[in-house]
Amino acid sequence: LSESNLKNKNVVITAGGTREAIDPVRYIGNNSSGKMGYALAQAAAYAGAHVTLISANSHQPKPNGVKLVPVTTAKEMQTAVEAEFAKTDVVIMAAAVADYRPEETFDHKIKKDSAESLEKITLVKNPDILATLGQQKQNQFLVGFAAETTELEAFAQTKLKAKNADMVIANDVSQAGIGFNSDENAVVVISADEAKVVLPKAPKTVLAQKLIELIATRI
Ligand code: PMT
């Protein structure tokens, strides 16, 4: 077996779903389990990379030989990713990052019948971590995911360009049994200069190995 191009490379992988607090007991979140990102982290570590796994709210077991950085919110994830970015060779953003957060976070639980109502919550936009990295990148290889429910490849192409990524891994999150919080996934890999690669439904651990091998050939 030939040695992986990822050997001794610094790889940052994000996983899980960010949570944006409304008050101490409520938040805006999503269904990401972290399984896809954790599987990628394990596969990258097996390929010999130095892996930092920035993980939002996942209950997955820590992969072997990986530095784990737990975060809660999108802003915390951005700070953690940016702290690593200058010395990073590859970034893989598998996390589901909340696009919006409440404008105000209450420091006490809002009571259902109190004058402070939660019937309307004003949201503000979160930073787009991947797009910001796309603007800053020097030699880093940037991999994003695209979670789509329609027009999978077209929207993935749009994200590749809009975020200045080198590769986008698109998954159809409307299909039962793949995508969020399942053990399996099915993806189409899009990049600017290469033909698309279709990886049919398989366990996330198997797909992660294939994706890491593919990334290793492209860096
Ligand atoms: O965690 P699992 O349960 O295993 O599920 C895996 C997954 C479905 C979450 C994963 O495969 C996946 O698709 N992750 C990306 C989810 C997502 O937020 O996709 P998006 O199309 O909204 O975002 C596009 C890309 O921009 C992603 O790489 C995302 O990490 C990044 N992003 C998005 C918003 C934001 N504010 N900042 C970002 O960096």
- 155 contacts: CB under 8 Å, gap ≥ 6: 146, 148, 170
Structure confidence by residue, pLDDT tens digits, 35-93 = 999 999 999 999 999 999 999 999 999 999 999 999 999 999 999 999 999 999 999 99
As annotated, the binding site for CTP includes: 99, 109, 127-130, 145, 159, 163
Structure confidence by residue, pLDDT tens digits, 159-202 = 999 999 999 999 999 999 999 999 999 999 999 888 999 999 99
ipTM, 2 dp: 0.99
In the reported structure, the alpha carbon of residue 94 is separated from the centroid of ligand 1 by a whole-number distance in angstroms of: 5
* 126 C-beta closer than 6 A to ligand 1: yes
Contact between residue 208 and residue 143 where contact means Cβ atoms under 8 Å apart = no
DSSP SS3 for 82: helix
In the reported structure, the alpha carbon of residue 37 is separated from the centroid of ligand 1 by a whole-number distance in angstroms of: 10
Q: Which domains does the chain have, with CATH numbers?
A: 10-218 (3.40.50.10300)
